[in-house]
Structure 1
Amino acid sequence: MINVKAGSVVFEHVRKTFGSFTAIPDLSITIEPGTLVTLLGPSGCGKTTTLRMLAGLEHPTSGRILIGGKDVTMLPANERDVSMVFQSYALFPHMSAVENVAYGLLSSGLKKNEAKEKAEEGLKLVGLGGMGHRLPAELSGGQQQRVAVARALVLEPQVLLLDEPLSNLDARLRRRVRTEIRELQQRLGFTAVYVTHDQDEALAVSDRIVVMKDGQIAQSGAPRELYETPASSFIADFMGEANVIPCEVIGLEGSSAVIRVGSIEHRVPTRQPRSGSAKLAVRPGAIQIGASGGTGLPGRVLHSAYLGGHVEYEVETEVGTLFIIDHDVEHSLAAASDVTLGFKNRGIALIDA
Structure 2
Amino acid sequence: MINPGSVVFENVRKSFGAFTAVPDLSLRIEPGTLVTLLGPSGCGKTTTLRMLAGLEHPTSGRILIGNKDVTMLPANERDVSMVFQSYALFPHMTSLDNVAYGLESSGLKRGEARERAEEGLKLVGLGGMGHRLPAELSGGQQQRVAVARALVLEPQVLLLDEPLSNLDARLRRRVRTEIRELQQRLGFTAVYVTHDQDEALAVSDQIIVMKDGGIAQQGAPRDLYDAPASAFIADFMGEANVVDCNVLSVDAGQALIDIAGLRHRLPAGKAAQGAAQLAIRPNAIDLSPDGATTGFSGNIIHSAYLGDHVEYEVDTGSTKLFVVDASADEPLPVSTRVRIGLRDRGIAIIG
Please, what TM-score do these two structures have when normalized by structure 2? Answer: 0.99
Matched, 1:255 2:287: no
Q: Is the 8 A contact 1:262 1:319 kept in 2?
A: no
SS in 2 for 1:65: strand
Output the aligned Cα RMSD. Answer: 0.7
Supply the distance in 2 between the matched residues of 1:20 and 1:98 (Cα, whole angstroms): 45
Q: Is the 8 A contact 2:31 2:188 kept in 1?
A: yes
Aligned to 1:318: 317
Q: Is the 8 A contact 1:229 1:269 kept in 2?
A: no
Unaligned 5+ runs, structure 2: none
Deviations 1:116-168 (A, max 9, x none): 00000000000000000000000000000000000000000000000000000
Calculate percent identity across the aligned residue pairs: 73
Aligned to 1:192: 190
Q: In terms of mean alpha carbon deviation, does 310-319 or 101-110 score higher?
A: 310-319
Matched, 1:303 2:302: yes
Supply the distance in 2 between the matched residues of 1:230 and 1:257 (Cα, whole angstroms): 16
Aligned to 2:206: 208
CA apart distance, 1:339: 0.3
> Which of 120, 123, 130 is equivalent to 1:125?
123
Supply the distance in 1 between the matched residues of 2:203 and 2:253 (Cα, whole angstroms): 28
CA apart distance, 1:331: 4.1
Q: Is the 8 A contact 1:270 1:351 kept in 2?
A: no
Deviations 1:55-113 (A, max 9, x none): 00000000000000000000000000000000000000000000000000000000000
Aligned to 1:277: 275
> Which of 16, 22, 44 is equivalent to 1:46?
44
Q: In terms of mean alpha carbon deviation, does 291-300 or 158-167 score higher?
A: 291-300
Supply the distance in 2 between the matched residues of 1:21 and 1:327 (Cα, whole angstroms): 46
> Which of 221, 234, 237 is equivalent to 1:236?
234
Q: Is the 8 A contact 1:142 1:173 kept in 2?
A: yes
Unaligned 5+ runs, structure 1: none
Supply the distance in 1 between the matched residues of 2:318 and 2:158 (Cα, whole angstroms): 46
Equivalent AA in structure 1 for residue 28 of structure 2? T
Supply the distance in 1 between the matched residues of 2:103 and 2:18 (Cα, whole angstroms): 40
SS in 1 for 2:278: strand
SS in 1 for 2:264: strand
Supply the distance in 2 between the matched residues of 1:281 and 1:298 (Cα, whole angstroms): 19
Supply the distance in 1 between the matched residues of 2:179 and 2:32 (Cα, whole angstroms): 14
CA apart distance, 1:318: 3.5
Q: Is the 8 A contact 1:196 1:202 kept in 2?
A: yes
> Which of 92, 113, 116 is equivalent to 1:115?
113
SS in 2 for 1:104: helix
Supply the distance in 1 between the matched residues of 2:275 and 2:317 (Cα, whole angstroms): 16
Q: Is the 8 A contact 2:250 2:268 kept in 1?
A: no
SS in 2 for 1:330: coil
Aligned to 2:80: 82
Matched, 1:156 2:158: no
CA apart distance, 1:195: 0.1
CA apart distance, 1:256: 2.4
Supply the distance in 2 between the matched residues of 1:102 and 1:330 (Cα, whole angstroms): 55
Matched, 1:101 2:137: no
Aligned to 1:25: 23
CA apart distance, 1:328: 2.1
Deviations 1:205-256 (A, max 9, x none): 0000000000000000000000010000000000000000000000102332
Supply the distance in 1 between the matched residues of 2:318 and 2:2 (Cα, whole angstroms): 53
Supply the distance in 1 between the matched residues of 2:13 and 2:190 (Cα, whole angstroms): 22
CA apart distance, 1:24: 0.4
> Which of 251, 258, 264 is equivalent to 1:266?
264
Equivalent AA in structure 1 for residue 37 of structure 2? L
Supply the distance in 2 between the matched residues of 1:193 and 1:270 (Cα, whole angstroms): 32
CA apart distance, 1:269: 2.1
Supply the distance in 2 between the matched residues of 1:220 and 1:164 (Cα, whole angstroms): 19
Q: In terms of mean alpha carbon deviation, does 190-199 or 316-325 score higher?
A: 316-325
CA apart distance, 1:271: 2.8
